[in-house]
Amino acid sequence: MSINKQLARIGRGMIILIAYALIPNQVSAQEANTSELYLQLKSMDSLLFNVGFNQCDISQFENLTSEDFEFYHDRGGVTRLKDDFVESIKNGVCGGGKSTVQRELVENSLQVYPLTQNGVLYGAIQMGVHRFHDTTAKFTHVWLLEDGEWKISRALSYDHQSD
């Protein structure tokens, strides 16, 4: 092989190496729906909504929300205190001890994205679509690991549409 061909081959290899180096080392991608993280957060979603919201087990909201919890709703505004949020569920949807609205997670809509710092998992973003009788909305939740336990820190409910 001629020296020019060898240099050309080395040059192409260097370009590929440089391009690869410019790509971030850790590309966060959506978790597979069979991953441990995905299944953990799907379970947390079920505890929060199927048990807490649909069955009015207020203890789920008390146990699963972070002390600095914030809730943003495109129609209901912002709630910046955990206690205010728990009270709003207790006195609102669960005012009579039984939920007046049932929440259903839309099948195959749940997405989970890990949050890491220096390669260590500290939280996750959970997104999906949920239905409340005749209304469908999107949600985004930020879950954080606090002392080894998953706690929801931020919740956004938006793009409410009538079915």
pLDDT one-digit tens code per residue, 115-135: 999 999 999 999 999 999 899
CA pair distance 132, 116, nearest whole angstrom: 32
**Backbone phi and psi for residue 2, each to the nearest 5 degrees, phi listed first:** -75, 160
Q: Judge whether 130 and 104 are in contact, CB under 8 Å.
A: yes
The pLDDT tens digits for 36-95 are 999 999 999 999 999 999 999 999 999 999 999 999 999 999 999 999 999 999 999 999
Segment 90-106 mean pLDDT: 94
User: Which residues of the chain form beta strands (DSSP E)?
Assistant: 65-73, 77-79, 103-105, 111-117, 120-132, 135-146, 149-162
CA pair distance 1, 52, nearest whole angstrom: 71
The Cβ-side half-sphere exposure at 18, using a 13 Å CA radius, reads 6
